């Protein structure tokens, strides 16, 4: 199963294969770069706008209580993929349960396929030409 839920000329968006929470997404540059400083102005604006659009989508679909948005640039910073990408992790409040703590494993209430289907059915309402041009 492909984890990609969106793609355009400057970026693509994929579900994280090992999500911290349902709808943990990664926004990835099309251009192969590894450093935040290497982003062009166009890429920086476009990617941050895409993150805003995804937040609007997830607000409607999941109503999270907050978000972690970030980059792990380089192995020493926790990066495991040698390609610049942004993590968008919805946070829901009390997320850890008994199994998470005692079993030292994560139990997610929704699988990747179900999350992907929800996002794909709704993403074009948020990430479209009008959204990127009119802000």
Q: What are phi and psi of 33, to 5 degrees?
A: -135, 160
The residues facing 87 across adjacent strands are 26, 70
Active site residue 46: no
Catalytic residue among 32, 46, 83, 85: 85
Block residue for tokens 């948005």: 69
Q: How far apart are CA 59 and CA 45, in angstroms?
A: 21
Q: How far apart are CA 107 and CA 1, in angstroms?
A: 20
Catalytically active residues are 85
């Amino acid at each position: 199963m492909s984890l990609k839920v969106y793609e355009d000329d400057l970026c693509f968006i994929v579900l994280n294969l090992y999500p911290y929470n349902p709808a943990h997404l990664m926004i990835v540059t099309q251009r192969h770069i590894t450093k935040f400083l290497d982003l062009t102005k166009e890429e920086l604006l476009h990617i941050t706008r895409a993150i805003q659009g995804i937040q609007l989508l997830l607000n409607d679909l999941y109503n999270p209580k907050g978000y972690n948005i970030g980059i792990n640039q380089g192995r020493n910073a926790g990066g495991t993929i040698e390609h610049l990408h942004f993590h968008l992790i919805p946070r829901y409040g009390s997320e850890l349960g008994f199994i998470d703590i005692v079993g030292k494993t994560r139990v997610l209430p929704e699988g990747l396929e179900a999350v992907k289907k929800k996002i794909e059915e709704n993403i074009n309402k948020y990430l479209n030409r009008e959204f990127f041009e009119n802000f």
